[in-house]
Chain A
Amino acid sequence: MTAVIEVTDLRKTYRLGPLAVPVLNGVSLAVERGEMVSIMGPSGSGKSTLMNIIGCLDAPTSGSYLLEGEEVSRWGDARLAAARNRKIGFVFQTYNLLPRLSALANVELALQYGDRRNARARSLQALESVGLGHRYKHRPLELSGGEQQRVAIARALVKDPAIMLADEPTGALDTRSSAEIMAILQRLNRDQGLTVALVTHEADVARHTRRIVSLCDGLIVGDEPVAEPLRAETAEEAPA
């Protein structure tokens, strides 16, 4: 079975004028299809940089990155954009929805730059799968934080990505909404076999996943399965 993601000896150094700031110092990691993994670490550990590289938003300084078996670390802008469009579903801490557009239009936006077939129907379906089918006309500001994040999940989901990357997806949410989001991610992982990687610094969130990778100073310092993942329990799990 090919890994969805396989990075080997990944290094990333930022240049600030004459200063070279190493952020990743040789990270090797494989994520298999259907896994739900969290990447943990204190701020400055390099977890966001790793996420950006995995998400094809940034290129590593050296090392190899195989995305579904394809070496992408030397790709240019256009191919990276296409990879982001087809294979990566992003969920951000701050939702990053366009305030001018309705929930449905925000989801459809993900399809505008790629496969546009049945865009509307697929987008509605994605919204329904996060329990927002009835609120598709609303704009982001008319939705709660948790609902906005669910729109963002639908937007990531709609293109049927190889992996969903969630960067602190519950960071801006209250406990109840956080539980809702985690429940949705768990359900998608369990029922649809969606591969999920999430970056967090909250151990409590990480325990909802099945594997925890710990990062410190640009190196992996721990990689352990979670024996008994927590089950997020919310009303959302029994959709009307």
Chain B
Amino acid sequence: MTPLALIGTAWSSIGGNRLRTGLTLLGIIIGVAAVIALMSIGRGAQEDITNRIESLGSNLLYVRPLDGDLTLDDALALVDPVFAPSVVSVAPEVSVSGSVTYRSTDTFTQVAGVTPEFADVRNFEVASGEFISPAHVLNRKNVAVLGSQTAEDLFGERDPVGVDIAISGIRFTVIGVLESKGATAFGNEDNRVLVPLTTAFFRLSGQRTAAGDLTIDLINVQADGERIEEAQQEAATVLRLRHEITDTDDFRVDTQQSVIDALSETTGTLTVFLGAVAGISLVVGGIGIMNIMLVSVTERTREIGIRKALGAKRQDILAQFVTEAVLLSIGGGLLGVGAGVVASRILDGFTLAGSELMTVFSGDIAALALAVSAAIGLFFGIYPAARAAQLHPIEALRHE
């Protein structure tokens, strides 16, 4: 039989029992739609995270200590027009956790000691008041800039600028509030308090190396334009020289991209996981196809006998029933793609457990779901088709 005749035959027998065909299709439609909707959510999360990280500035490097310590001098040494010409500026950072109290309200949050460069390097703007100035750092002033979330937690709608708060029991004056940034790779950046680096050292943290140097937790490095990789190399070279390293680095320099990659990998795994969970329902749909094909083979035993008497070979019968199963699964797959696209449109912007869902539909997800459903039709169609093909013509003809 020609492929066209096969499809025509399959089509007419599928169309012969509309209700049954519809219910069989439903299994595949739901499966494919679920795969597409869930994978679109996964993709949406991936893209959301990437966007947020990129909003921090694309020319950022992060230097973190591994086994050793990073000192304030290490940070300052990175601004070196000779050894590190691609580095524009650095913003060293120390982090402590502390309770922040205003009158009877308090909140537990991250307190970061930073320099004035921090605002530039990390793309922070103050919504009201001012940022930490060089004078504040020089004089170890007890001033604080609040993240928007922290400000809201402590003060509600009021403007906190000029008000005194207590951080770990020490009095600080609020000089500014940051603009909201949302959750990023570094956690919720809106829920934090910034104080001058020196103040954090001497009043809140006070960690020092054995040699008495001040240790810091993170150096934000701004590279010159697109020269990110050069800056990464130069920063590493400067630190290796200073730390007298011969084999393994005791620090690491991450680019923005490597952070994005690492997180993309995580959300990519999440996407695949979601797809796999939805894929289970696709398999269940496939079992539905197998079930209905087995019923169909039994019902049409006589037809198989007639076809064999007319000269149909085993592979003709096999091809006929496999074509029917694949046609069912591809038909269900196509309808499922439509349903999945609609579902991911509806879910886009839907608020779930406080966070907004973002869905990204793309053709490769649809192609994947469609290919999987066709493969499932093939897989689950082969057994019933083989049973049909193996029927003995005489017995099949006698079947009532």
Contacts and interface: CB of A to CB of B under 8 A. Distances in A.
18 contacts: A57-B393, A57-B394, A58-B394, A78-B313, A78-B314, A78-B315, A81-B313, A81-B314, A84-B308, A86-B311, A90-B309, A96-B306, A96-B309, A100-B16, A109-B306, A110-B310, A114-B311, A155-B310
Nearest to A152: B306
Contacts of B315: 78
Interface in B1-47: 1-2, 5, 12-13, 16
Contacts of A92: 397
Given A90-B310, A113-B307, 17 more contacts: A55-B309, A57-B397, A77-B314, A84-B309, A84-B311, A85-B311, A85-B312, A86-B311, A92-B397, A96-B305, A96-B397, A101-B12, A109-B307, A109-B310, A110-B310, A113-B310, A113-B312
B302 interface: yes
Contacts of B393: 57
A210 B257 CA distance: 93
A52 interface: yes
A98 B311 contact: no
A86 B16 CA distance: 30
A101 B16 CA distance: 11
A113 B394 contact: no
B311 A81 contact: yes
B391 to A, nearest CB: 11
Contacts of A84: 308-311
A85 B308 CA distance: 9
A2 interface: no
Instruction: Classify chain A's interface size.
Output: 20 to 34
Nearest to B393: A57
A82 B313 contact: yes
Nearest to B396: A57
B316 interface: yes
A139 to B, nearest CB: 12
B224 interface: no
A190 interface: no
A82 B310 CA distance: 9
A231 interface: no
Instruction: Classify chain B's interface size.
Output: 20 to 34
Which residue, A55, A90, A113, has most C-beta atoms of chain B within 10 A? A113
Interface of A: 52, 55, 57-58, 77-78, 81-82, 84-86, 90, 92, 96-98, 100-101, 109-110, 112-114, 116, 155
Nearest to A52: B394
- Enumerate the 5 nearest inter-chain pairs by beta-carbon distance, A residue then B residue, closest first: A85-B311, A81-B313, A113-B311, A84-B311, A96-B306
B227 to A, nearest CB: 70
A100 B397 contact: no
Contacts of A98: 303, 306
A202 B284 CA distance: 55
A77 B311 contact: no
Which residue, B12, B310, B316, has most C-beta atoms of chain A within 10 A? B310
B119 to A, nearest CB: 77
Contacts of A97: 306
Contact of A113 (B12, B16, B316, B397): B316
Contacts of A96: 302, 305-306, 309, 397
A181 to B, nearest CB: 19
A98 B397 CA distance: 12
Contacts of B310: 84-85, 90, 109-110, 112-113, 155
A113 B394 CA distance: 18
B306 A81 contact: no
A93 to B, nearest CB: 11
Contacts of A55: 309
A192 B308 CA distance: 26
Contacts of B309: 55, 57, 84, 90, 96
A82 B314 CA distance: 11
A58 B308 CA distance: 12
B14 to A, nearest CB: 11
A77 B313 contact: yes
Contacts of B314: 77-78, 81
